[in-house]
A and B are shown apart, each in its own frame.
Chain A
Amino acid sequence: MANTDAEALLVRQVRAGDAQAWRQLIEKYEGRLLAFVDSRLRDRAASEDVVQETFIGFLTSLPHYDEKRDMEAYLFSIAAHKLTDHLRKQGRRPIDQFGSDDHGRPLDEVPGDGRPASSIARSDERRRAEERLLTDALGQLVREWLARGDYDRLRCLELLIVKGRANKDVAKYLGLTEQAVASYKFQTVGRLKDMARRAGLSLENLGEG
């Protein structure tokens, strides 16, 4: 999700020191951030402190914020980091490190029967290029599935990729055959590879097992 023009304007106003714009931004996002933090801490007062730290962190990091970056995702990422800080200070292990792959696997290991490949992540630059490509390519596939109401496929791929479930578990959960699940995965990997090839990148090890 990209920022709207109104959000970009709001950021520019906050950057310029506009207190009213800052209030608007707080009013817009505070509730969802509080719900997010409190769902993990289950301590309202502590959660409010973490959210307060989140907004302070946002202002502190504002000089580096890219207006094209989704504002909500950015704020959630700061909140998750502040939450992790809070849990660590309490001697509790973080429940979730935003952005860390708590469920996922290395890029080349499409869940099911993937195996690590060495061609991925050789450099930050290449990783970024691959990430941009994969975000765009996966995004395009998701939009296609949503547009034609292909929710079975969407659920299947989301369970495989995001939740890291095995083919047979996904098949059982969704009432599909394992063959159908394998087919969805095969088609998706194939399309991602095609898209990568057209963009001049190679993801040849993606999903091989």
Chain B
Amino acid sequence: MSDPNPVIDDETLRSYLADTLPAEDLARVEKALRDSSELRDRLEDVRQNRGDANLHTLGAIWRRGRLTCPSRQQLGSYLLDALDPGLADYIKFHLDVIECPFCQANLADLSAKATQPPAAVKSRHNRILTSSRHLLGDEGRH
């Protein structure tokens, strides 16, 4: 007779991260993750170890290593149209054709910096600080 509540081991968590769990197991893991901070911490550990064979691909390695992502400084220069044309064309390709989500996010952020009201930005930052401060060490509480 099978265990109605099998243990959620690291392999199960790896499958969860890889989106390969059957629906029933997926629901069970998601519920357990919502209920258990210990399990959420373990999930983070598993995720960082990245032991999933399915992730081991050249494409994934390229993306994870962000091998062709321009630096944020280069993205800033791209916005100002201050790059060598060849590199600027390549960055446009990386953004528009490869659709690199991280470079797109950096570019959007850099573009927004000029137009966002500083008070709104500060308010967002304060909210994060308030919600996370208790997780800093004792010295951070003053």
Contacts and interface: CB of A to CB of B under 8 A. Distances in A.
Interface of A: 1, 14-19, 22-23, 26-27, 30-36, 39, 48, 51-52, 55-57, 59-61, 64, 70, 72-73, 76-78, 81, 85, 88-89, 94, 96-97, 99-101, 103-107, 109-111, 120-121, 124, 127, 130-131, 134-135, 138-139, 142, 146, 149, 151, 154-155, 158-159, 161-164
Given A17-B138, A64-B45, A106 B57 contact: yes
Contacts of B61: 107, 131, 134-135, 138
Contact of B135 (A51, A59, A81, A100): A59
Contact of B139 (A16, A27, A138): A16
A139 B67 contact: yes
A18 B60 contact: no
13 contacts: A16-B139, A17-B136, A17-B139, A19-B136, A22-B129, A73-B66, A121-B56, A127-B56, A131-B56, A134-B61, A159-B98, A161-B59, A164-B59
Contact of A109 (B18, B50, B57): B57
Interface of B: 17-19, 30, 33, 40-41, 44-45, 47-51, 53-69, 71, 86-87, 89-90, 93-94, 97-98, 101-102, 104-106, 108-109, 112-113, 121, 124-125, 127-129, 131-133, 135-142
B105 to A, nearest CB: 4
Contacts of B132: 22, 52, 55-56, 59
Contacts of A155: 90, 93, 97
Q: What 3 A-B pairs have minimum CB-CB distances, sorted nearest first?
A: A104-B59, A17-B137, A36-B105
Given A61-B44, A142-B68, A99 B50 contact: yes
Tell me what chain A mostly uses at the interface: helix, strand, loop, or mixed. helix
B89 A97 contact: no
A104 B53 CA distance: 13
Contact of B128 (A52, A70, A73, A111): A52
A100 B68 contact: no
Given A48-B124, A70-B66, A35 B109 contact: yes
A60 B44 contact: yes
